[in-house]
């Protein structure tokens, strides 16, 4: 039998396919003659309420917020070099969606890092942009909950990290100097 997740009303939790939610209640309901204890989780951003049986919480992927150490690792991942496979976009998109829906902040940070575009880089396709924004939003919500701040501030922090980690665009003066030297 899976270990029960210990949460109380008011605790923030992460459900893999929906992101950060807040436990608003733990209730008992009867279904087909069986009594079930349920976590009632509210996802304000999606205006959704989810009920998860307490004894199935671990199997469903429901977990407590990441520790500060795990979030630091995720933020360090953002600073790394983007790794984009040379496979078809549809295959990469499926892999990115799987990472986002895993609920793992480090995997989500990899998606954000790999799909981030700085000024001077080619534009993203519509689907790339959607996946990037979904991953950024999911990661920002967990960073905000862990750091007890607003999601908008967490998004700014993540974007600042991404921009700072990007290599600077080549300077035009260097190009003209190399042309002069070659002549």
Asked if residue 2 has pLDDT above 80, the reply is no
Asked if residue 80 has pLDDT above 80, the reply is yes
60: Cβ–Cβ under 8 A, 6 or more apart, which residues?
15, 16, 52
Asked if residue 1 has pLDDT above 90, the reply is no
Question: What confidence score (pLDDT) does residue 120 get?
Answer: 66
Q: What is the dihedral of CA 177, 163, 114, 169, to 10 degrees?
A: -10
Question: What confidence score (pLDDT) does residue 38 get?
Answer: 93
Instruction: Please write the tens of the pLDDT for every residue from 113-155.
Output: 999 987 667 778 899 999 999 999 999 999 999 999 999 999 9
170 — pLDDT class (breaks 50, 70, 90): very low
177 — pLDDT class (breaks 50, 70, 90): very low
Residue 96's closest CA among 82, 108, 79? 108
d(CA 65, CA 142): 7
Of residues 171 and 106, more confidence is placed in 106
Report the CATH architecture of 68-165: Up-down Bundle (1.20)
- The tokens describing 153, both together, are 């501030």
CATH code reported for the domain at 12-64: 2.40.10.170
pLDDT mean across residues, the chain: 85
List the domain boundaries for the chain. 12-64, 68-165
């Amino acid at each position: 039998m899976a270990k029960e997740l210990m949460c109380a009303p008011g605790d923030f939790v992460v459900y893999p396919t929906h992101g950060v939610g807040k436990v608003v209640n733990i209730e008992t309901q009867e279904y087909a003659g069986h009594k079930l204890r349920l976590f009632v989780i509210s996802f304000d951003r999606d205006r959704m309420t989810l009920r998860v049986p307490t004894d199935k919480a671990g199997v469903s992927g429901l977990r407590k917020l990441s520790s500060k150490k795990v979030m630091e690792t995720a933020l360090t991942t953002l600073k790394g070099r983007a790794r984009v496979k040379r496979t078809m976009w549809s295959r990469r998109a499926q892999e990115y969606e799987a990472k986002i829906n895993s609920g793992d902040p480090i995997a989500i940070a990899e998606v954000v890092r790999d799909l981030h575009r700085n000024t001077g880089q080619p534009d993203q396709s519509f689907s790339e942009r959607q996946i990037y924004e979904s991953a950024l939003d999911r990661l920002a919500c967990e960073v905000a909950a862990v750091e007890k701040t607003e999601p908008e501030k967490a998004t700014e922090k993540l974007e600042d990290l991404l921009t700072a980690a990007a290599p600077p665009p080549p300077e035009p003066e260097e190009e003209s100097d190399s042309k002069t030297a070659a002549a």
